[in-house]
């Protein structure tokens, strides 16, 4: 423990006291506005963005500290490279999470959130981040959500926001709509009550219209591959065809989507989703009652259970028939809930021979199974024990005149053939759905819409923004499926902006993810009240240079932010369409090999650790655990090593000598260290950068040598992004005025950073047999001679080597 440490050392200088110097520098940074750059005059602007936190009542999570430190090091490093770095922070404080917590503890969120934010601010300051607090924002601030509402209106104006009915999860016990994430195995995550499906009018954003662009830009933006892959999967592009199946005896047809048009000759029935609009028209009177009962039952099943619950195939015959456009055969039309209305056309052609689900269904209901693709070695007559779904290598059979074609050829030829008769066209379908932004809750920005009996739906005029969220005390959701705001007449009733007669407000609030989909645009412009973001500022500071955050937002926040940016670009407000030039996903922080959670009681409280060790030590430790992009395992046992390193740094700066010349070998090591720390820091390889500094420290102080000032001073700068407080303090004690972050990053001399002599590894038949110390640029023959001069190597070599492999500067391998 450090509390027992005496306040002066044997060497006579004061010992390292992190609490005192951290407080000193945090106060000085604040007083001197060290971290508030001039946003207008910056010549080399660098926008370092971190994911703003949700200010929970529990306070800052160590995972936040991990992510923010990772950002901060990069930001401070860029500043030392001569950039003007803008590193803002804010609070993502709206949302169901806050509201539920407020309901639970019985404190109004308008009271609770500012308290939590104050606590977060205190904790964030203690971490020593280079945050520009003069541009702090909160999404719950009317000055902010005014513009969230404005963005909604921009989408509305462009036809990208619309109202429609949608199935939602409803908890009959909590009397509220639940997000999909709040439904666990078909039950409410809070009370365990089975969730029902309800149909409600919802607001949607047409993100699907941007699917092709959202997908295409992934090819060039510099993002972590893991994140890009997650987005690609989420957008889920499928190439295939839409094909019309005429209804037998009626003047209508069912349009299906398939990725396997090559298998159409094997389509032995058609399936409609229970919600499909043609269900009634297809159903025969004999089957009507059964179909009605099935559709009703399917509608009652909650969405989650239907998709992830048991996969037992259920369905009902409609009594109707369709005509397979390829074979001309009459095939039955069924209704089954394994077909989803929300994907494709809500109808499929079932090819049981070549689709697992169709196969299972056909087996269950005794429908015909026909082989139309034969694997190599099989033929048309080979029986199918299971669906043969391989998309490559097979040849078409039972598909005259296309027999013998590969599946790939078959797809193109069959779609073209059906296309000639207007029955098919190639189509690309996306898994991505439109974004439901309505929330029937209280704690969010009211959607700025007014309904007038005379004039219809009206957008709230921009001059009337923001639509303030009223400070009501009764905000508990009820069974009506309507937001609690609807119960407050004085807010709900409002004059129509068009005709002035009394009208009604929209009572839904918008999704929290809309708040966070544009906050990075606001940061540089927080002082502007008449625009969401100032044109000049935005031009100078955006897009964001680098964004580091968690991959849990790969398909939510990061996708929505890209979408909103594209919309604002198309609307002429932005001259870029991708908001984040670089994105790096950091890994997950675990504790002693296990996930951190409140129930396990293994959550790390950053306050405690900073108290005990100092922020600089904790910052170093978090970054030293492993690669930032892979996360790490927080174990208390490792922290002391970081503190020891800082103690030694402190001692070095106090015990060093300034007279005479520095040691040549140490200076060489220093230059190699500068090179490695520079390279590693810029590519976020923080763990190895810290290791390199420690290695240098061992050289510096090995054998109780007294370091020279010229050997120590650059190390203070190298360590500064990682441990800013101690670096500032030592920089001052070394006689400098002003912050170390205004100094220039030390340069390395390539000549000094390279060793003249190296240890050349010598292998015989690929096995290491020894090393020889030789000149770095030694020629092969000389290296060979030097190696053979060593008896312990030579004894493995009999005669002349058959082959000599020489990697200059690396190794010599003799094959004998």
Q: Which of residues 3-32 bind RNA (CB under 7 A)?
A: 4, 9-10
- Which residue's structure tokens are 């280079």? 130
Q: Does 270 bind RNA (CB under 7 A)?
A: no
Which residues from 365-384 bind RNA, rule CB under 7 A?
A: none
Which listed range, 35-43, 205-213, 306-314, 735-743, lies at the site for RNA (CB under 7 A)?
306-314
Q: How far is the CB of 601 from RNA (least distance, A)?
A: 17
For residues 722-737, b (16+ Cβ closer than 10 Å) or e, as one string? bbbbbbbbbbbeeeee
User: Looking only at residues 552 through 581 of this chain, which bind RNA when binding is defined by CB under 7 A?
Assistant: 552, 555
Report the C-alpha gap between 682 and 669 in whole angstroms.
Answer: 20
Q: For residues 812 and 762, give the distance between their C-alpha atoms in angstroms, rounded to a whole number.
A: 5
Torsional sign, CA 633, 634, 640, 643: positive
- Residue 258 found at the interface with RNA (CB under 7 A): yes
Least distance in Å: CB of 533 to RNA?
31
User: Judged by CB under 7 A, does residue 2 bind RNA?
Assistant: no
Q: Which is nearer to RNA, 85 or 697 (CB)?
A: 697
**Phi, psi (deg, nearest 5) at residue 251:** -95, 55
Q: Determine, following the binding rule CB under 7 A, whether residue 344 of this chain makes contact with RNA.
A: yes
Is 308 a binder of RNA (CB under 7 A)?
A: yes
The window from 369-377, 402-410, 602-610, 620-628 that contacts RNA (CB under 7 A) reads 620-628
Decide whether 248 or 790 has the Cβ nearer to RNA.
Answer: 790
The C-alpha atoms of residue 566 and residue 572 are separated, in whole angstroms, by 10
Distances from the Cα of 142 to the Cα of 137, 211, 444, 469, 771, angstroms: 11, 32, 11, 8, 70
Which residue matches tokens 């379908």? 429
811 binds RNA (CB under 7 A): yes
CA distance 560 to 40: 29
The position carrying tokens 């945090």 is 26
Helix (H) or strand (E) holding 288: helix 288-300
Of 30-38, 196-204, 644-652, 719-727, the window that binds RNA (rule: CB under 7 A) is 644-652
Please list every residue from 210 through 229 that binds RNA, using CB under 7 A. Answer: 225-226, 229
Binding piece for RNA, criterion CB under 7 A, among 190-198, 210-218, 439-447, 548-556: 548-556
Which of 349, 452 has the CB closer to RNA? 349
* Cβ 46 vs Cβ 83: under 8 Å: yes
Q: What are phi and psi of 538, to 5 degrees?
A: -65, -40
Per rule CB under 7 A, is residue 264 in the interface with RNA? no
- Candidate ranges 38-46, 171-179, 203-211, 695-703; the one touching RNA (CB under 7 A): 695-703
Distance in angstroms (rounded) separating the CA atoms of residues 709 and 60? 39
How near is the Cβ of 60 to RNA at its closest, in Å? 22
Which CA distances in Å does 530 have to 360, 462, 496, 642? 61, 11, 24, 48
By CB under 7 A, tell whether 765 contacts RNA: yes
Q: For RNA, which is the closer residue by CB, 4 or 599?
A: 4
Does position 624 interact with RNA (CB under 7 A)? The reply is yes
Residue 572 beta carbon to RNA: minimum distance, rounded to whole angstroms: 33
Q: Does 766 bind RNA (CB under 7 A)?
A: yes
Is there binding between residue 348 and RNA (CB under 7 A)? yes
CB of 731 to RNA, least distance (A): 22
By the rule CB under 7 A, 357 interacts with RNA: yes
Task: Provide the greatest CA pair distance for the chain.
Answer: 106
Rule CB under 7 A: choose which of 132, 302, 511, 647 binds RNA.
Answer: 647
| C-alpha to C-alpha distance for 284 and 280, rounded to whole angstroms | 8
Separation between Cα atoms, residue 728 and residue 712, nearest integer Å = 14
Q: Which residue of 159, 377, 422, 703 would you call a contact of RNA, by CB under 7 A? A: 703
Q: Is 255 in the site for RNA (CB under 7 A)?
A: no
Interface of this chain with RNA, residues 420 to 439, rule: CB under 7 A: 429, 431
Which among 377, 282, 383, 402 has a CA at the least distance from the CA of 335?
Answer: 282
Q: Nearest Cα to 315, choosing from 272, 348, 375? A: 272
Peptide linkage before 466 cis (omega within 30 of 0):
yes
Pairing of strands 330-335, 316-323: antiparallel
Binding RNA by CB under 7 A: which of 158, 539, 595, 600?
595
Candidates 114, 426, 626, 662: give the one binding RNA (CB under 7 A).
626
* Near RNA by CB under 7 A: residue from 355, 506, 511, 534: 355
Q: Is 593 in the site for RNA (CB under 7 A)?
A: yes
| Strand runs labelled E in 394-473 | 395-396, 424-430, 435-436, 438-439, 449-452, 456-459
Nearer to RNA, 85 or 814 (CB): 814
Size of interface with RNA, in residues (CB under 7 A): 93
Dist CA 409 CA 402 (whole Å):
9
By the rule CB under 7 A, 101 interacts with RNA = no
Out of 320, 632, 714, 801, the only residue in the binding site for RNA (CB under 7 A) is 632
Say how far apart CA 442 and CA 484 lie, in whole Å. Answer: 6
Among 30, 165, 600, 644, binds RNA (CB under 7 A): 644
* Beta carbon of residue 50, minimum distance to RNA (angstroms, whole number): 20
- Look at residue 205 and give its three-state secondary structure: strand
Residues 60, 156 contacting (CB under 8 angstroms): no
Contact positions with RNA (CB under 7 A) in 654-693: 685, 687-688, 690-691
Q: Does 777 bind RNA (CB under 7 A)?
A: no
Q: Minimum CB separation from RNA for residue 98, in Å?
A: 21
């Amino acid at each position: 423990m450090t509390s027992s440490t005496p306040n002066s050392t044997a060497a006579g200088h004061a010992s390292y006291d992190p609490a005192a110097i951290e407080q000193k520098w945090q106060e000085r940074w604040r007083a001197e506005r060290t971290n508030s750059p001039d946003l207008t005059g910056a010549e080399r602007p660098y926008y370092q963005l971190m994911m703003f936190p949700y200010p929970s009542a529990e306070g800052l999570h160590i995972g936040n500290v991990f992510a923010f430190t990772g950002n901060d090091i990069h930001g401070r490093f860029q500043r030392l490279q001569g950039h003007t770095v803008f590193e803002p922070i804010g609070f993502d404080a709206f949302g169901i999470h806050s509201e539920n917590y407020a309901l639970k503890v019985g404190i109004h969120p308008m009271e609770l959130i500012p308290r939590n934010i104050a606590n977060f601010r205190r904790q964030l300051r203690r971490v020593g981040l280079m945050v520009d607090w003069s541009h702090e924002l909160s999404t719950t601030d009317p000055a902010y959500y005014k513009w969230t509402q404005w963005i909604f209106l921009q989408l509305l104006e462009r036809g990208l926001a619309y109202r429609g009915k949608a199935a939602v999860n409803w908890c009959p016990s909590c009397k509220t709509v639940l997000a999909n994430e709040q439904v666990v195995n078909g039950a409410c995550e809070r009370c365990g009550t089975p969730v029902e499906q309800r149909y409600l009018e919802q607001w949607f954003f047409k993100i699907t219209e941007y699917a092709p662009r959202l997908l295409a830009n992934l090819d060039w933006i510099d993002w972590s591959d893991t994140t890009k892959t997650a987005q690609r999967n989420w957008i889920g592009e499928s190439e295939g065809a839409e094909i019309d199946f005429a209804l037998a005896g009626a003047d209508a047809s069912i349009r299906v989507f398939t990725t396997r048009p090559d298998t159409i000759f094997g389509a032995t029935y058609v399936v409609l989703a229970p919600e499909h609009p043609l269900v009634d028209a297809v159903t025969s009177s004999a089957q009507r009652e059964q179909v009605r009962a099935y559709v009703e039952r399917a509608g009652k099943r909650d969405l989650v259970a239907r998709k992830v619950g048991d996969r037992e195939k259920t369905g009902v015959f409609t009594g109707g028939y369709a005509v397979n456009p390829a074979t001309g055969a009459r095939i039955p039309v069924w209704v089954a809930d394994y077909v989803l209305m929300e994907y494709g056309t809500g109808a499929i052609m079932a090819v049981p021979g070549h689709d697992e689900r169709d196969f299972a269904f056909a087996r269950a209901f005794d429908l015909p199974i026909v082989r139309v693709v034969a694997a190599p070695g099989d033929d048309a007559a080979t029986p199918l024990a299971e669906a043969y779904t391989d998309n490559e290598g097979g040849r078409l059979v039972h598909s005259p005149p296309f027999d013998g074609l590969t599946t790939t050829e078959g797809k193109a030829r069959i779609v073209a053939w059906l296309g000639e008769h207007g029955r098919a066209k190639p189509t690309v379908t996306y898994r991505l759905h439109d974004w439901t932004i309505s929330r029937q809750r209280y704690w969010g920005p009211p959607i700025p819409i007014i309904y007038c009996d005379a004039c219809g739906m009206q957008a709230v005029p921009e001059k009337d923004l923001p639509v303030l969220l009223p400070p009501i005390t009764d905000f508990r959701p009820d069974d009506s499926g309507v937001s609690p705001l609807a119960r407050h007449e004085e807010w709900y009733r409002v004059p129509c902006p068009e005709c002035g007669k009394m009208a009604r407000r929209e009572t839904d609030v918008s999704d929290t993810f809309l708040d966070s989909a544009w906050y990075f645009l606001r940061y540089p412009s927080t002082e502007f009240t008449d625009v969401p973001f100032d044109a000049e500022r935005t031009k100078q500071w955006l897009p964001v240079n680098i964004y580091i955050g968690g991959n849990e937002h790969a398909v939510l926040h990061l996708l929505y932010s890209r979408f909103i940016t594209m919309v604002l670009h198309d609307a002429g407000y932005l001259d870029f369409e991708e908001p984040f030039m670089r994105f790096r996903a950091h890994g997950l922080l675990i504790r002693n090999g296990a996930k951190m959670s409140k129930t396990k009681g293994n959550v790390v409280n950053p306050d405690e650790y900073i108290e005990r060790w100092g922020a600089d030590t904790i910052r170093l430790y978090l970054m030293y655990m492993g690669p930032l992009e892979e996360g790490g395992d927080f174990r208390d046992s490792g922290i002391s090593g970081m503190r020891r390193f800082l103690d030694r740094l402190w001692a070095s700066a106090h015990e060093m000598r300034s007279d005479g010349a520095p040691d040549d070998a140490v200076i060489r090591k220093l230059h190699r260290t500068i090179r490695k720390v520079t390279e590693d820091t810029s590519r976020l390889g923080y763990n190895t950068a810290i290791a390199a500094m420690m290695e240098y420290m061992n050289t510096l102080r090995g054998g109780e040598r007294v370091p020279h000032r010229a050997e120590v001073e650059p190390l203070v700068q190298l360590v500064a992004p990682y441990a800013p407080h101690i670096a500032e303090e030592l920089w001052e004690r070394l006689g400098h005025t002003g912050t170390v972050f205004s100094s220039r990053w030390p340069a390395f001399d390539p000549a000094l950073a390279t060793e003249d002599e190296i240890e050349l590894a010598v292998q015989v038949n690929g096995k290491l047999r020894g090393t020889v110390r030789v000149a770095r640029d030694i020629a092969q023959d000389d290296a060979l001679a030097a190696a053979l001069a060593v008896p312990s190597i030579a004894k493995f070599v009999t005669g002349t080597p058959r082959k000599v492999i020489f990697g200059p500067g690396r190794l010599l391998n003799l094959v004998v």
